[in-house]
Chains A and B, each alone.
Chain A
């Protein structure tokens, strides 16, 4: 599904990705790990087509995410590490995602409800005025409602309390079949029940890439 070939990305003299090669296939749940500055975020942003590589390429289902971004992004759900301070209210944000990505609003409400997020009373509230946990829950609900084949989470549970984390992992387990699930995380123990592959990055390179067996809940 995702093929990364010889990918190098530099920012001025700093090499953020150094000739990275890897492939993510259907039914793989990957924990992408590494110290700060290892290149994890640069790698997922390259998959999303945000960066023009210095050399090499990324192909998602054989398509270049920079040249045909709308085609590629139809199939990707993404939740960033920190929810951005979007000034749209929840109703407008839901309109944005439902029109642009043809997501069913009712499905967003369903997953929000599953995450114990009360959307009804907050519809006219600006997204950035919600609490950190509420924002993260909404972004997770949107990512699940999008029903994408590729789901990318950059530290998705950073703002969630233990109960919300349990809800999140439960929903994810129900939705992970036939998908590529890519977690950027520092805490393997949290996602060890979900992932079947662990990649460790350092200084822009993949230093280890191991298949691991899933532990059941």
Chain B
């Protein structure tokens, strides 16, 4: 275990010094600051105001930028180390592949998750200081959803990193996955639905298999438990599962998906030539 923590700790230390981490932290921290400066907490849209409104906006932007940040910064972790011969030297010490791989994942998870949560905590503390009501239910739901979203994309990123030969290819694949899950899959599913080729339930199920989509729906569900803003799609979801079960699924499923991809990545890492 000491080697696992050692790898995680050193990866964390290394990441904290990088420029991408500074930019990453500034983006999320800056976003919260900008919301306060812009007076988002005083505005009211669709009945949401105060900190709830701010957190809703934060989560809507986070869903777009968090996955791409995680993919781009993580996808090169193993492939980059392999590319520039760091792996060749670091793995000449008696560290098991399991400790190295999972240690890197733990270290990287802390790096990507903490700034996102920290920005939310700053918002809550500052909001409380200004006398706003703190929507704890939303805060805890988002903490869980962000944990799940980070897990799923971290797992996908490590999976890609385990089999690509160069950093450039890894970046290309990462970008494609991000844009595919963010937009292309929805466009494809909408066109299928319009052609009436498949059962709507199947199309909605495929759509919710996308971790970004399930995150988006779960984020709305706390403000709008009936999911009325989603129109008829809400019937398919809430007829199948209760709102509580849907929220649990939206946190549990991406975590399992991330672990599955991470595990597949580990198997590839273990079976392939290391350098």
Contacts and interface: CB of A to CB of B under 8 A. Distances in A.
Contacts of A83: 89
A51 B2 CA distance: 26
26 contacts: A45-B275, A48-B92, A52-B272, A52-B273, A70-B95, A70-B96, A71-B94, A73-B92, A73-B95, A74-B94, A76-B92, A78-B89, A78-B92, A84-B84, A84-B85, A84-B86, A87-B14, A87-B18, A88-B14, A92-B10, A95-B6, A96-B6, A99-B2, A100-B3, A100-B95, A139-B89
A73 B275 contact: no
Given A70-B94, A84-B88, 17 more contacts: A48-B91, A50-B275, A51-B274, A52-B272, A52-B273, A69-B94, A69-B96, A71-B94, A76-B92, A84-B84, A85-B86, A87-B18, A88-B14, A92-B13, A95-B10, A96-B93, A100-B94
B249 interface: no
Interface string A34-56: 00000000000100111110000
A52 B274 CA distance: 9
B97 interface: yes
Contacts of B94: 69-71, 73-74, 100-101
Interface of A: 45, 48-52, 69-71, 73-74, 76-78, 80, 82-88, 92, 95-97, 99-101, 126, 139
Contact of A100 (B6, B14, B18, B275): B6
A67 to B, nearest CB: 11
Contacts of A88: 10, 13-14
B93 A97 contact: yes
B97 to A, nearest CB: 7
Contacts of A71: 94
A52 B14 CA distance: 30
Nearest to B3: A100
B90 interface: yes
Q: Which 3 A-B pairs have the closest CB atoms?
A: A78-B92, A70-B94, A73-B94
B197 interface: no
B96 A80 contact: no
A77 B89 CA distance: 10
Interface residues of B, number: 26
B17 interface: yes
Interface in B1-45: 2-3, 6, 10, 13-14, 17-18
B271 interface: yes
Contacts of B271: 52
Contact of B88 (A45, A76, A87): A45
Nearest to A97: B93
Contacts of A96: 6, 10, 90, 93
B189 to A, nearest CB: 39
B95 to A, nearest CB: 5
Nearest to A50: B274
A64 B15 CA distance: 34
Contacts of B17: 87, 126
A14 to B, nearest CB: 13
Contacts of A50: 88, 91, 273-275
Contact of A51 (B6, B14, B96, B273): B273
Interface in B235-275: 271-275
Nearest to B91: A50
B3 A99 contact: yes
